[in-house]
Amino acid sequence: MDVKAGTVDIYLAESKVAVDFIVDRIEEHWDKYYFQSTKDVLILNGDNGPENSSSRTQFIKRIVEFSAKANIEIILAYYPPYDSKYNPVERVWGRINQAI
């Protein structure tokens, strides 16, 4: 979800979402929208779930590698636990459920 632009891209996986899938999609999104030529900072808002937790070493390793490769600063920001009302992507899931 690009909060500034108000857009949402949905990526589907055939199996349980893993760290590599998440970071691969972040990289793909970065390249797809040509942010590399206009941005030098990426803020990732996470829900601190098991896949994107700041204590998950594989996630941190992949994010650091992406940061170095793209030559950008990445800021990891996490919503408080059990406060989904503050997370804008939760409203997206609500809209999708209404449409189904």
User: Is residue 4 in some structural domain?
Assistant: no
Q: How many domains are there within the chain? A: 1
pLDDT number for residue 13: 85
Judge whether 12 lies within some domain: no
Token pair of 74 as six digits: 């990445």
Residue 44 falls inside a structural domain: yes
pTM for the model:
0.77
What is the sign, positive or negative, of the torsion defined by CA atoms of 34, 35, 38, 40?
Answer: negative
**Domain-embedded: residue 50:** yes
4-32 pLDDT, tens digit per residue, is: 888 888 888 888 778 889 999 999 988 88
Which pLDDT score is estimated for 100? 80
CB 63: neighbour CB atoms within 10 A? 22
- Whether 7 maps to a domain, the answer reads no
Does 23 fall in a domain? yes
User: Could you tell me the two tokens for 13?
Assistant: 């996986």
Q: What is the pLDDT, as a whole number, of residue 80?
A: 78
> Which residue ranges of the chain lie beneath pLDDT 50?
none
Give the pLDDT score at 24.
93
Within a domain: residue 10? no
Assess if residue 80 is contained within a domain: yes
d(CA 28, CA 45): 17
Give me the domain span that covers residue 62: 19-99
